[in-house]
C-alpha cells in the first residue's frame, strides 16, 4: 500500500469594487465594458425589471443576450431556471470568457450567481441589485443558490462577485411594502455592527421613507461597509459571519409558520424583537434598548408582534429544524449593546435554553 | 458616487491523500471513518458496482444511505441525476457535515463530485475510482460536472477531493475493451511527463494486460504523481494543466465524429498518433518516436488509424468547435521528446497551421 499527498495551492487574496450612486444605471454599461473588456456579456434579470424600464436603462439600444426570469420571485428560484439560463448561454455560443450580469433583487442575484458559478466550471458575475434587501445584503458576500422541493438553497455555491453596482434610484420603483421590509436588514446591520448607523437611521427615518437619493446612498455605504467587513473576516460562514443571522433564528421560523404570507424582512423584524426579549431575560439587554429598536421598526411599519395565527408550538418545532443546527436546538446571535454582538468564548452565537425562548415567544 | 473595495481573503493551501493498494476495498471503511469522524457518510455509485459486488465489499453490513445511478454511463451524466442525488441527501436528513463518497468510474466521480460541490454550497467528496481512466485521471484534480443537451460538462465546478482511495483489484472486473482504452490516459501521462514511465510501460506490457496487481499499483503511483504535479501547478486550468490535453484536440473530434462509437481512450489513441505526426511535420518529432508510441498503443489493441467512416472535413469542423477555443482554431499540446512537452514562450499549447493538421489527418 502506498500513500501520496496532493497539495492544493493557496488561492491568492483578491478584491472587488462596489460602486454606489444615484441614477447611474443608464451610464453604467461603458463602465462595465471598461472594467471587463475581455469578456462577452450575458444579462440575467426578471420581468419586474422589464416593466419598470430598468433593463432598458441598462442596455440602451445594445444587443446583449439576456435571460428574463418569469415569473419573478421565489417561485422561479429552482433548478429549472438555472438549467434554462445555462442552455440559453450555450445557445448564444458563450464560453468561459463570459461575464454574467445580474440585474434585479435578491432572487435574481441568487439564481444568476449560481448559474455563473457552475457554467463550464465557473465564470465571473457582476451584480446590479435593485431592491433594499439585495443592495444591503444579498449582492455582497458570494452566497448563491436555488431551492429544492424540500429546502431553501439546497443547491448552491459560494461565488464571490467580480463587481457590484448599486443605483439607489432603482429603489423608487419598488412596491412600498417590499421597500420597507427590505430595510429591516439594514436595521439589523446597524444593530450588530454600528450604533452610529442606528442613530443615523433614527435621525433620517422620514427621508428614508421618502426614498431621498442622498440618504439612500449613505445607507448603501453603511450597509456595504458592514457586510464587507463581516464577509472579509469569514467568507464561507465558518463562525463570525453568523452574526448576520441576528434576528433570523426566530425570524425564519415565523416566516415559515406564516405560510410565507410575511415577507422575509417582516419576519426578521419579529425575530429581532424576540432576540431583544431574550437579551433582557439573559441579563444582557434592556427595556430601553428594546423600545428604541421597536420604535424604528414601527416607523418602518413592519410587524413587531407575532401574528395571531402563528402557534408557539409550531415555532419551537421550526426552530429545532433550523438549517444551521440540524436536529438540535440552535444557537442564537445576541447583542451586548446597540452595534455590538455578544461574544462568549470566541463564539458569536450562544446557547439559549429552550424554556427562555418559549417564555419570550409568549410575550411577542 | 462612492466606491468601496471588498477584500476576498486568500484561501490557505491544503492537501489530500491518495491511498493506493490491492484488495483494500473491503477494509477501507474503518479508515474512512477514522479520517472523517465528524461527518455523516453518503455513497454515490452505479449499477455496475452493485453487480460486480464492489459496493457490498465497501459497505459490508453497514447501513449507509446510498444513491445508485441507473443506467450507468454517460447517459446519466445530466442534471436530473444530480438533482435526484441531492434530494436523496435531503430526504436522508443530511446536512453540511456530510462526506460524499463516489465509488465507480469517471462518470460516477464527475456526477458525485458536482453534487458534493453544490449541496448546500459544498460538502467534501472522497473518490474511490474503479476504472483505469478514473484511477489514472479523473478522480484526481477536482474537475466535476455533468452534460447539457448541447455540450459536455456545461454544468460543473472545480471541487478538490478530500481523499482518494485506489484499489487496483477493482480493475479486474472491468470489461476488456474498457480496461485497455482506459490505459491510453496512462500512456499519455508517460508521454507528457516521464520517459521512465514510458519505458516501464514497454517493459511490463504483458503483466499490465494480465492485470497483475503489483504492476497496477506501480502504474497507479506513476499516474497519481504525474497528475498531482500538474494539478498542483495549475489547479483551475489557466495554463500548464492544458498539457493533460495531449492527444485530446484531435481525440475529442474523432470521438464525436465516430458518433461516440469509439471510447474516449480509443479516440485519444488516434489523437496521440495525430499529435506525433504533427510533431514530425513541425520538425520537433521523429519517426522513431512515432513508432515506439504506435507499438505500445497496438499492444493495448486500441485503434491507431482513423476509422473509415470519419471524414476529414467533419474533423476540421469539430476541431474548430473545440471547447478550449470557442470559434477559433485551437492550440495544440505537442512533445519535444518522450516525457517532455514542447514549451514555447511559456506557453504549453502552441499554434499549428490548419493545413498542417489537414495534411496529418490524411495520413492517419
Per-residue pLDDT at B152:
87
Q: Is B252 a catalytic residue?
A: yes
- Look at A8 and B14 and tell me if their CB atoms are within 8 Å: yes
Q: Which residues contact B313 (CB under 8 A, 6 or more apart)?
A: none
A110 plus A160 within the same structural domain? yes
Residue B37: inside a domain, yes or no? yes
How high does pLDDT run on average in chain B?
95
Residue A164 belongs to what domain range?
Answer: 17-173
CATH number, position B166: 3.40.50.1970
Residue B352: inside a domain, yes or no? yes
Tens-place pLDDT, residues B170-213: 999 999 999 999 999 999 999 999 999 999 999 999 999 999 99
Per-residue pLDDT at B327:
60
Nearest beta carbon to residue A93 from set B7, B157, B326: B326
Nearest beta carbon to residue B121 from set A5, A24, A157: A157
B123 plus B211 within the same structural domain? no
Torsion of CA B96, B65, B156, A122, to 10 degrees: 0
Q: Which chain A residues touch B113 with a CB distance below 8 Å?
A: none
Residue B1: inside a domain, yes or no? no
Tens-place pLDDT, residues A187-235: 999 999 999 999 999 999 999 999 999 999 999 999 999 999 998 988 8
- Look at A6 and B18 and tell me if their CB atoms are within 8 Å: yes
Collapsing DSSP to helix, strand or coil, B67 comes out as: strand
Q: How far is B345 from chain A (nearest CA, A)?
A: 22
| Confidence grade of residue A304 (pLDDT, cut at 50, 70, 90) | very high
Nearest beta carbon to residue A86 from set B154, B231, B327: B154
Q: At what angle do helices A195-203 and A287-299 cross, to 10 degrees?
A: 50
CATH number, position B335: 1.20.1090.10
Residue B4: inside a domain, yes or no? no
- Look at B4 and A12 and tell me if their CB atoms are within 8 Å: no
| Confidence grade of residue A136 (pLDDT, cut at 50, 70, 90) | very high
Question: Between these two residues, B238 and A135, which has the higher pLDDT value?
Answer: A135
* Among A18-32, A137-151, B30-44, B63-77, the least confident range: A137-151
Nearest to A233 by CA among A192, A278, A280, A275: A192
In total, the C-beta contacts within 8 angstroms joining chain A to chain B are: 196
A325 has a pLDDT exceeding 70: no
Q: Which chain A residues touch B10 with a CB distance below 8 Å?
A: 10-13
B356 plus B208 within the same structural domain? yes
Q: How far is A93 from chain B (nearest CA, A)?
A: 8
Residue B3: inside a domain, yes or no? no
Residue B268: inside a domain, yes or no? yes
Per-residue cell: A27: 451610464
Per-residue cell: B218: 506501480
Nearest chain A residue to B213 by CA: give it. A1
A152 plus A271 within the same structural domain? no
Per-residue cell: A123: 465564470
A118 plus A200 within the same structural domain? no
Residue B330: inside a domain, yes or no? yes
Q: Which residues contact B238 (CB under 8 A, 6 or more apart)?
A: none
Per-residue cell: A115: 448559474
| Residue among A121, A218, A328 with most chain B CBs within 10 A, to mutate | A121
To the nearest whole percent, how much of chain A has pLDDT over 90?
Answer: 88
Per-residue cell: A41: 456579456
Q: Is A127 a catalytic residue?
A: no
Collapsing DSSP to helix, strand or coil, B108 comes out as: helix
Q: Is A223 a catalytic residue?
A: no
Grid cell 439559549 is found at A352
- Between the alpha carbon of residue B201 and those of residues B179, B213, B295, the distances in Å are 15, 14, 11
Per-residue pLDDT at B321:
77
A272 plus A126 within the same structural domain? no
- Between the alpha carbon of residue B329 and those of residues B320, B321, B351, B355, the distances in Å are 5, 8, 8, 11
Nearest chain B residue to A142 by CA: give it. B8
B323 has a pLDDT exceeding 70: no
Measured CA to CA, the distance from residue A293 to residue B284 in angstroms comes to 75
The residue from B150, B173, B196 where one domain ends is B173
Q: Is A252 a catalytic residue?
A: yes
Residue B69: inside a domain, yes or no? yes
User: What ipTM was assigned to the predicted interfaces of this complex?
Assistant: 0.93
A74 plus A216 within the same structural domain? no
Nearest beta carbon to residue B156 from set A118, A148, A164: A118
Report the domain count for chain B. 2
A256 plus A349 within the same structural domain? yes
A214 plus A257 within the same structural domain? yes
- Look at B11 and A11 and tell me if their CB atoms are within 8 Å: yes
The residue from B138, B156, B173 where one domain ends is B173
Amino acid at each position: 500500500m502506498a500513500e501520496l499527498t496532493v497539495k492544493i495551492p493557496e488561492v491568492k487574496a483578491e478584491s472587488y469594487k462596489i460602486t454606489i450612486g444615484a441614477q447611474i444605471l443608464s451610464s453604467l454599461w461603458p463602465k462595465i465594458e471598461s472594467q471587463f473588456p475581455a469578456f462577452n456579456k450575458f444579462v440575467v434579470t426578471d420581468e419586474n425589471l422589464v416593466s419598470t424600464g430598468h433593463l432598458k436603462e441598462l442596455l440602451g439600444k445594445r444587443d446583449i443576450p439576456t435571460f428574463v426570469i418569469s415569473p419573478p420571485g421565489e417561485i422561479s428560484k429552482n433548478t429549472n431556471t438555472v438549467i434554462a439560463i445555462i442552455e440559453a448561454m450555450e445557445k448564444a455560443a458563450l464560453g468561459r470568457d463570459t461575464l454574467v450580469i445580474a440585474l434585479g433583487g435578491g432572487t435574481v442575484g441568487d439564481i444568476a450567481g449560481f448559474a455563473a458559478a457552475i457554467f463550464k466550471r465557473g465564470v465571473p458575475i457582476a451584480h446590479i441589485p435593485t431592491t433594499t434587501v439585495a443592495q444591503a445584503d444579498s449582492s455582497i458576500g458570494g452566497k448563491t443558490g436555488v431551492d429544492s422541493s424540500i429546502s431553501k438553497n439546497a443547491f448552491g455555491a459560494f461565488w464571490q462577485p467580480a463587481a457590484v453596482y448599486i443605483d439607489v434610484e432603482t429603489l423608487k420603483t419598488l412596491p412600498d411594502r417590499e421597500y420597507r421590509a427590505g430595510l429591516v436588514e439594514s436595521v439589523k446591520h446597524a444593530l450588530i455592527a454600528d450604533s452610529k448607523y442606528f442613530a443615523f437611521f433614527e435621525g433620517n427615518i422620514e427621508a428614508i421613507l421618502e426614498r431621498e437619493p442622498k440618504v439612500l446612498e449613505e445607507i448603501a455605504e453603511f450597509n456595504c461597509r458592514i457586510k464587507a467587513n463581516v464577509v472579509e473576516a469569514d467568507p464561507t460562514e465558518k463562525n463570525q459571519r453568523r452574526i448576520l443571522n441576528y434576528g433570523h433564528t426566530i425570524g425564519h421560523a415565523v416566516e415559515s409558520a406564516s405560510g410565507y404570507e410575511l415577507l422575509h424582512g417582516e419576519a426578521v423584524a419579529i425575530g429581532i424583537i424576540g432576540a431583544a426579549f431574550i437579551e433582557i431575560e439573559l441579563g444582557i439587554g434592556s427595556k430601553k434598548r428594546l423600545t428604541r429598536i421597536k420604535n424604528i421598526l414601527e416607523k418602518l411599519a413592519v410587524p413587531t408582534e407575532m401574528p395571531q395565527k402563528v402557534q408557539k408550538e409550531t415555532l419551537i418545532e421550526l426552530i429545532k429544524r433550523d438549517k444551521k443546527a440540524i436536529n438540535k436546538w440552535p444557537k442564537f446571535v445576541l447583542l451586548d449593546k446597540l452595534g455590538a454582538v455578544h461574544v462568549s468564548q470566541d463564539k458569536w452565537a450562544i446557547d439559549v435554553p429552550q424554556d427562555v425562548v418559549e417564555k419570550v415567544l409568549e410575550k411577542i
